[in-house]
Structure 1
Amino acid sequence: MVAKAPLVELPFPRGNGLPTQSPLYWVGQKDRYLRQVLIRDIEELTGRRLIVYFANRFRDEAGIDDADPVYLMELLSDVNTGDPVDLLIETNGGKTDSTEALVTLLQNRLVDYRAIVANAAKSNGTLLCLAAKSIIMGAPSELGPIDPHLNGIPCTVLSDPVVAQSNFPLHSLALLAMKQTKKLAESLLRNGMLQGSAPGEVERVAQALGSRDTYFSHGSVIDHREAAQLNLKIQYLPPGDELWERIWLLYSMYDFDVRRDNYLKIFEGRARSTAIGAPPKVV
């Protein structure tokens, strides 16, 4: 007689039991708990841990900043060394120094990191994707150029010698910012997706992403086809794909929740969660 495997008690609301939290607390946090149920479903489908960095792209204050590495480390502390990890990224970008810190953390902590872009990982969000071994994208997914900005002005504009005549310090800062971004992009590509590529390929891709030679607007859309043409390692999931439909549902939950609750960002995994609220408006 073959022994049956013990039944696994499914957590509420999947199982027949009640939540371990008090009813009022569970109801107040139900959106987070339901997102985490879907995170676990996706993990079961992929066999990989899933963590989420989701920024409210409609708020200027939601850019990548110096506080982010601490919150990301909090999520990664729940991941065993050697576990393959997916990072769902939604962001318009932000500070390059902070992005470097996030990249360093991901590289030091993970041996198998894959990026997921459901909607948009733009600017320095694209740099976070370049740190991955591959990028999952769907029909609406977009990356973007990585050319840096200062005071809202593209450094590709500020680097013009004409600017140096009127504002040499700003011109110099723009040149340094461009060098920083180019160096980081080339390092990520050389040690990641384009490792072992033909001579000059890393420089070609970094130049295409970081200058105005290929993309004339910082908001230009780089979809899965164009990303693949850049020789980035893209895994495209078409509409109707089982994994994609769950990723898009999870994205939709975050997108609705951050806007309804006026969050700047949510850092979340299957058991840990931090939501960053927007500062109150000054009347």
Structure 2
Amino acid sequence: MPNWSEVVLEIQAIEQAQMGVNPFDVVRKKYLSKIHQITGRNVIAYYSGWLQKPNFANTQVNDKDKSGFMLAINKLDKSKGLDLLLHTPGGDVAATESLVDYLYSMFDKDIRVIVPQISMSAGTMIALSSKEIIMGKHSNLGPIDPQMNGLACQAILSEFQYAIEDIAKNPSSAILWQTIISKYHPTFLGACKQAIEWSDRMVSAWLNYNMCEGEPEKVKTILKAFSNHTEQKSHSRHIPKKECIELGLKIIDLETDQELQDAVLTTHHMFFHTFNNTTAIKIIENHLGVAYFENHAAITPQKN
């Protein structure tokens, strides 16, 4: 399979030979189809262009994504299961829950997630709902601790608890803590607690249902590691394949199948080329060439 530079040459060759044809679409679909040929399974790529276009909205998981998945899943043979290529910074938890419920209704437990590079936050939640995750040495998942206004809910609750303890020991610190804690509105702490409980309950249910069925202690270990802000330190931490395996996740090494690895990474390169050279900021696309695009200014479902 071609590397990054060789893919560019393939794009340029199509551009020169076929006037009026979008070479990025042609080459991207070629390699998505190649993944299907190798696995014999349905393939859907869910790709965000947040790395190339960090200042644009709608690059995160949101409720509009379900429309893209409905388009991509329509007319697929559901009995062949689903291989879902994920590249996302994460996003809305409610939208994530709804999307996973929809995927279960279509494919039940027969869902594998392939992470070519990064699937963070809500993207990791989706990965944890699958029966197994295919990762390479370059692949990363991320913590799933809920965030509120860009702040870790667990960190907020910890800070508040520390304030209570500090004031009890040193009453003169109350004035200082009043200034710090006053930035939170009255219902904010309750909302943070509920967000943590909701996220943990949701991911725990998915792990128990699919990847870790019949292994409740393993579920607790995985959930504790991925949802613990104190342990992970940052919501943006990249958790590598080796650590995912050690925690008990069912991980398949992408490197064990050279043909599949080449097809996955070439497809990954093609999505990056597409984001770099078009107005697309998010793409949901299946191996048949049915694609849903979100662009800078508009949402455009397409079937090519």
Note if 1:266 corresponds to 2:283: yes
Q: Could you give the per-residue CA deviations for residues 88-135 of structure 1, whole angstroms, max 9, x where no partner exists?
A: 000000000000011001111013111000000000000110111111
What does residue 83 of structure 1 align with?
80
Structure 2 residue aligned with 1:45, among 38, 44, 48?
Answer: 38
Paired with 1:275 and 1:259, the residues of 2 have a C-alpha distance of: 14
Q: TM-score, normalised by structure 2?
A: 0.79
Q: Could you give the per-residue CA deviations for residues 236-266 of structure 1, whole angstroms, max 9, x where no partner exists?
A: 1228822111100100110121132232200
What does residue 16 of structure 1 align with?
none
What does residue 57 of structure 1 align with?
50
Structure 2 residue aligned with 1:225, among 242, 249, 257?
Answer: 242
AA aligned opposite 1:147: D
Paired with 1:57 and 1:236, the residues of 2 have a C-alpha distance of: 26
Paired with 1:51 and 1:210, the residues of 2 have a C-alpha distance of: 27
Q: Could you give the per-residue CA deviations for residues 182-232 of structure 1, whole angstroms, max 9, x where no partner exists?
A: 0111011111111111x4331221121111243111111211111111111
Q: Could you give the per-residue CA deviations for residues 61-101 of structure 1, whole angstroms, max 9, x where no partner exists?
A: 21101101111111111312312210100000000000001
Give the fraction of aligned pairs with identical amino acids, expressed as a percent. 27
SS in 1 for 2:187: helix
Q: What are the residue-to-residue correspondences of 1:159-178 with 2, within 5 Å? A: 159-160=157-158, 161-162=160-161, 166=182, 167=184, 168-178=186-196
Q: Is the 8 A contact 2:44 2:83 kept in 1?
A: yes
What does residue 93 of structure 1 align with?
90
What does residue 207 of structure 2 align with?
189
Structure 1 residue aligned with 2:99, among 99, 102, 108?
Answer: 102
SS in 2 for 1:217: coil
SS in 2 for 1:156: helix
Q: Is the 8 A contact 2:244 2:251 kept in 1?
A: yes
What does residue 116 of structure 1 align with?
114
Computed over aligned residues only, the root mean square deviation of the Cα atoms, in angstroms, reads 1.9
Question: Could you tell which deviates more after superposition, 261-270 or 45-54?
Answer: 261-270
Structure 2 residue aligned with 1:255, among 254, 269, 272?
Answer: 272
SS in 1 for 2:284: strand
Change (3 A) 1:24 1:274: farther
Structure 2 residue aligned with 1:128, among 126, 129, 154?
Answer: 126
What does residue 65 of structure 2 align with?
68
Q: Is the 8 A contact 1:107 1:131 kept in 2?
A: no
Question: Could you tell which deviates more after superposition, 30-39 or 161-170?
Answer: 161-170
Structure 2: segments with no counterpart, 5+ residues: 1-17, 165-180, 299-304
Change (3 A) 1:279 1:155: farther
Paired with 2:62 and 2:114, the residues of 1 have a C-alpha distance of: 20
Structure 1: segments with no counterpart, 5+ residues: 1-22
Paired with 2:206 and 2:257, the residues of 1 have a C-alpha distance of: 32
Could you list the runs of 4 or more consecutive aligned residues of structure 1 that deviate by over 4 angstroms after TM superposition? Answer: 162-165
Structure 1 residue aligned with 2:296, among 262, 278, 281?
Answer: 278
What does residue 137 of structure 1 align with?
135
Q: Which has the higher helix share?
A: 2
Report which structure shows greater RCO (CA 8 Å, sep ≥6).
2
Q: Figure out how many residues of one structure are paired with residues of the other and give that number.
A: 255
SS in 2 for 1:136: strand
AA aligned opposite 1:40: S
Q: Is the 8 A contact 2:155 2:229 kept in 1?
A: no
